Amino acid sequence: NAGVTQTPKFRILKIGQSMTLQCTQDMNHNYMYWYRQDPGMGLKLIYYSVGAGITDKGEVPNGYNVSRSTTEDFPLRLELAAPSQTSVYFCASSGDGNYGYTFGSGTRLTVV
């Protein structure tokens, strides 16, 4: 099992550009999450999904979009990148009734 896989690991974007952060899991987990982590801070929830076709906003959803067309994949979309979106992004998943999340290794994004 690969667990939770995130790509890319690093990315530099220019202001106004768009990109998609990929996240896939092979554990057949229903629940998937996107968090961002700013330097010296905890993780803030951006979006989450409780199953294919269902998504919901977290604490800091502005500037992001998600989709969940399959159980395995939960991509995060940035449409118009802003410097405030410079952060490390973590994707996580958990099975039904299992609240110990499995995290990916993160995507470090810099917007200049």
Partner 1 sequence: GESVGLHLPTLSVQEGDNSIINCAYSNSASDYFIWYKQESGKGPQFIIDIRSNMDKRQGQRVTVLLNKTVKHLSLQIAATQPGDSAVYFCAENMANQAGTALIFGKGTTLSVSS
Q: Which residues bind partner 1 (CB under 8 A)?
A: 4, 33, 35, 40-45, 48, 50, 56, 58-59, 90, 92, 99-106
Q: Which amino acid is at 29?
A: H
Q: Please, what is the minimum distance in Å from the beta carbon of residue 11 to partner 1?
A: 15
Cβ burial of 35 (10 Å; 0-12, 13-18, 19+) is: buried
Residue 36, classified by CB atoms within 10 Å of its CB into exposed (0-12), middle (13-18) or buried (19+), is buried
* Closest to partner 1 by CB, 19 or 43: 43
Taking a C-beta distance cutoff of 8 angstroms, is the pair 33, 91 a contact?
A: yes
Q: Which is nearer to partner 1, 86 or 102 (CB)?
A: 102
Residue 111 is encoded by which pair of tokens? 């917007």
Least separation, in Å, of the C-beta of 88 and partner 1? 9
Nearest residue (CB) to partner 1, 9 versus 84: 9
Minimum CB distance to partner 1 smaller for 15 or for 54: 54
Which amino acid, residue 51? G
Closest distance to partner 1 from the beta carbon of 57 (Å)? 11
